[in-house]
Homo-oligomer: A and B are copies of this chain.
Amino acid sequence: MEGHQVRALYDFTGEPGTSELSITAGEVLSVMRDNVGDGWCEGFNQNGKSGLFPAAYVQIIETPTSVPNAMISSQQSSGDYWDDDWDDDSEVGQTQAYIPQQQQQQQQQQHMLQLSQHHSVDYDLVSIQTIHSVIPERPIPNIPKKNNKFSTLIKSGEDSFLLGMKVANVPESEKIYIDESENGRHRWVSRGELYSCVVTSPKKESKLKGLKSFIVYQLTPTFNNIQVSRRYKHFDWLHERLEEKYCFIPIPPLPDKQISGRYEEQFIEHRRTQLQEFVDYVCRHPVLARSRVWEHFITCTDEKRWKAGKRQAEKDELLGVNYFNAIQCPETTLDVIKVEIQTDTFSRFISGLDPVVKNFMAMAVDQTKKNQVLYKREFQKIGQSFNALSHALEGDDSSRGRLTYALKVTGDAYNDIGKLYEEQPKFDWEPLADKFHIYKGIINSFPDVISIHKTAVQKRKDYEKLVSEHKMEPQQLRDLSHRTDVIARALLAEEMHFQTEQEIYLTQTMKTHLTEQISFYQKIVDKLREALNAYEE
């Protein structure tokens, strides 16, 4: 319902001090974003006051002036994001950058024109579909976001590559290389040296004389050691670019957007570690780490150059299935059966892993909460019981000095253990959950990556039938078959990357987790030893 007007079905009272917007049943609102997360929309009311409200509380109003979803979203993609005032970080001040729908339409039309001018094919119905496919539709709220860009791609876009609609010039810098080893293993070829990039010192900044405030994270790549400042909304923009461009690579998810408590120190520090996880994953990926938009993101310090690079990225046509044209790989024909077995096995593996990883992640999140709330409280109850006993005994006889002192030390020790339980998750369960957030996101994206290949395989089967029925030239099948192999090789290379990464990633994750858990329980042992010593003479 983004860009639409909606009518409030029920009253909703926004929590004061948050960016929630109070709405009244019957009132008309304009939706700016419907995917804020957790079922929230961002929009503004007829007094121009903006904020968040529950999507389930409003109903879309179909008006003649409303434009199709795809158009609005492409406007958003092409809008100057850098200067947008509305974003996930906004907590203070009113939204100002909303562009009236008329203007939106104009921009949209202009954008489509630009696209058509750059397209090598005629501006006909088919190419409109293609354009459509590379500009992902925004998900409809309340329906889980299931990588709908992929399903759109599969429906229409993929054919553009399969059917040989080549992009004329793939610049060298955009080319992606795949190696095949003697035993038939495919891998992405790394260009340049491995590097990393640290996310540091999140700090609060503000603009419009303090009316708007937001958090800025510092990114410093190891290859140049120059720091750049990025906001969450820039990450979000980057993420959208990467998802659009790499349909054959699962893009690691960003941390979830959150509604409240956004300026609490703990939240900010936690988000920093989550963004670090995202950055780490990208840096370790041979293709993503050399992506132009990514390099722009982690290196650009100049605002003008940033804007230029940003516009360029948004105009990039070498994306989605078109980007298969940039893949450079062995020309040999793949063993169809072998590939099918391998991809089927992998597909089943991913399907089996998906619920397990989701459950694991939920367990880690649950343990975080239980440590912080339940266990903490339990140990404090124990502590209080000991302290109360110490106090009750103290009243009577001063000769019991040692016992009452020791009981107090014991009570304090249990209280301290309660505090340890509260603080501990940020060393063990929370990092584990953060790692699994990335891992889960990758696994969740894989079925769509796999299905691009599956669709291609099906297409080849259709062609084989047509050729056998002499309704098609064998050359056409051979061409399609070659292109299917490119898709297969990309999948196999990505699978190999995933498998290798996973092994390292999980091993390191578990080692860190267990080391922290050991140190935690060791701290408990130490606390209790202290208490025990208090009873000795």
Binding site for B on A (CB under 8 A): 345-346, 348-349, 352-353, 356-357, 359-360, 363-364, 366-367, 370, 378, 381-382, 385-386, 388-389, 391-393, 395-397, 399-400, 402-403, 406-407, 410, 499, 502-503, 506-507, 510-511, 514-515, 517-518, 521-522, 524-525, 528-529, 531-532, 535
Can you list 13 contacts pairing A with B, beta carbon distance less than 8 Å? A346-B396, A356-B388, A359-B385, A367-B378, A400-B499, A400-B503, A402-B507, A403-B507, A406-B507, A514-B528, A515-B532, A518-B532, A521-B525
Q: Who on chain B is nearest to A429 by CB? A: B382
Give the most central of A345, A357, A532: most B CB within 10 Å. A532
Q: Who on chain B is nearest to A414 by CB? A: B517
| Set of chain B residues within 8 Å of A525, measured between Cβ atoms | 518, 521-522, 525
Partner of A388, one of B359, B410, B531: B359
Q: Would you give the shortest CB distance from A100 to chain B, in whole angstroms?
A: 50
| Set of chain B residues within 8 Å of A349, measured between Cβ atoms | 392, 395-396
**Chain A interface SS verdict (over half):** helix
A403 to B503, CA, bound (A): 7
Q: Is the CB of A396 within 8 A of B363?
A: no
A382 to B397, CA, bound (A): 47
| Set of chain B residues within 8 Å of A346, measured between Cβ atoms | 396
A400 to B500, CA, bound (A): 10
Q: A507-B535, A510-B535 are in contact. List 16 more A-B contacts (CB 8 A).
A: A346-B396, A348-B395, A356-B388, A357-B392, A359-B385, A359-B388, A363-B382, A363-B385, A396-B499, A397-B499, A406-B507, A406-B510, A514-B528, A514-B532, A521-B521, A525-B525
Q: Is the CB of A370 within 8 A of B378?
A: yes
A506 to B349, CA, bound (A): 58
A279 to B197, CA, bound (A): 69
A17 to B391, CA, bound (A): 46
Q: Is the CB of B518 within 8 A of A521?
A: no
The 3 nearest A-B residue pairs measured at CB: A349-B396, A356-B392, A514-B532
| Set of chain B residues within 8 Å of A515, measured between Cβ atoms | 532
A535 to B507, CA, bound (A): 7
Q: Is the CB of A410 within 8 A of B360?
A: no
A261 to B406, CA, bound (A): 38
A528 to B511, CA, bound (A): 10
| Set of chain B residues within 8 Å of A389, measured between Cβ atoms | 356-357, 360
Q: Would you give the shortest CB distance from A492 to chain B, in whole angstroms?
A: 14
Q: Is the CB of B528 within 8 A of A518?
A: yes
Q: Who on chain B is nearest to A375 by CB? A: B375
| Set of chain B residues within 8 Å of A528, measured between Cβ atoms | 514, 517-518, 521
Q: Would you give the shortest CB distance from A93 to chain B, in whole angstroms?
A: 43
| Set of chain B residues within 8 Å of A507, measured between Cβ atoms | 402-403, 406, 535
Q: Who on chain B is nearest to A392 by CB? A: B356
Q: Is the CB of A510 within 8 A of B396?
A: no
Q: Would you give the shortest CB distance from A533 to chain B, in whole angstroms?
A: 9
| Set of chain B residues within 8 Å of A357, measured between Cβ atoms | 389, 392
Q: Is the CB of B503 within 8 A of A531?
A: no
| Set of chain B residues within 8 Å of A364, measured between Cβ atoms | 385
Q: Would you give the shortest CB distance from A8 to chain B, in whole angstroms?
A: 39
